[in-house]
Amino acid sequence: MWFKRKPKPDATQVEKKSAQDWLPFKDIFSGAMYKRDGSMVAVLRVDPLNISLKSEGEKQRIISAVHEAINGQREPIQIICLPRALDLDHYLSSLNDRLKSTTNHLKRRLLAEYVRYVAGLVTEGDVLERRYYILLEQKPGAVKRQNQREELQKRCYEFAGNLGASGLRVNICNDPEIIDLLFSFLTPRQAAYESAPDGLTTFTQGVN
């Protein structure tokens, strides 16, 4: 008995499909990430706050406010600290332009020393920016998608307001900012010298 051998699938198609299939999300729009299991995820970006120079009473107030805001969440949250290399080339170029236009001898000498310091940082590549994100997830449950989105937005604004009461600066991320987070998390080396793509389709192609 003879069996007809099926043609092998194109290796590039298999690789492309497998690279996209492992991504846990399928779409990003209206300020939310839509996962394959029907869940929605919103992202808050929190700027770090240096409390080392504040009084003990002020430190305790900030810590207590953050503690209460986090404990007030009914659903689990995820906190991400994402290091990212800073591109100082443009900043270094502006310093060199300022150095050329400076005529004061003392200012010129101090500025030249600072330019050499920044140039050394650029050469070593040790300058990192740390970004802090909080992910809020809304399960599908029995509610409609529109109600699910509204409930997630409500949680975002309430949580951002409670964190902001502590003195933290909190921003609810829009679509490009969510894509930038995913781009930096999934392709850190590429994100060090490239900007995040404009849309989800371009982004998933870049991951491949």
Give the C-alpha separation, 41 to 155, whole Å.
11
Is 15 or 144 the better-scoring residue by pLDDT?
Answer: 144
Angle at 200 between CA 198 and CA 205, to 5 degrees: 95
Regarding pTM above 0.95, the answer is no
Give the Cα separation of 186 and 189 in Å (integer): 9
- 30 found inside a domain: yes
Q: Assess whether 151 and 76 both reside in one domain.
A: yes
Does 197 have pLDDT greater than 70? yes
How far apart are alpha carbons 131 and 133 in whole angstroms?
7
111 and 32 in a common domain: no
**Is 201 part of any domain?**
no
Strand, helix or coil for residue 37: coil
- Cα–Cα distance between 198 and 201 in angstroms, integer? 9
Mean pLDDT taken over the chain: 82
Residue 113 and residue 135 share a domain: no
CATH number (domain holding residue 78): 3.30.70
pLDDT at 2: 46
Domain count, the chain: 2
Give, as one character, the DSSP assignment of residue 50: -
Mean pLDDT to the nearest integer, 65-91: 87
Q: What angle do CA 168, 169, 174 make, to 5 degrees?
A: 140
Residue 1: its pLDDT value, please?
44
DSSP codes of every residue in 76-89:
-EEEEEEEEE---H
Identity of the amino acid at 32: A
Q: What is the pLDDT of residues 84-103, one digit of tens each?
A: 777 777 888 898 899 889 88
Domain extent, residue 154, equals 25-82+131-191
How far apart, in whole angstroms, are the C-alpha atoms of residue 167 and residue 144?
35
Considering the domain architecture, whether residues 103 and 138 belong to the same structural domain is answered as: no
Q: Are residues 94 and 120 part of one domain?
A: yes
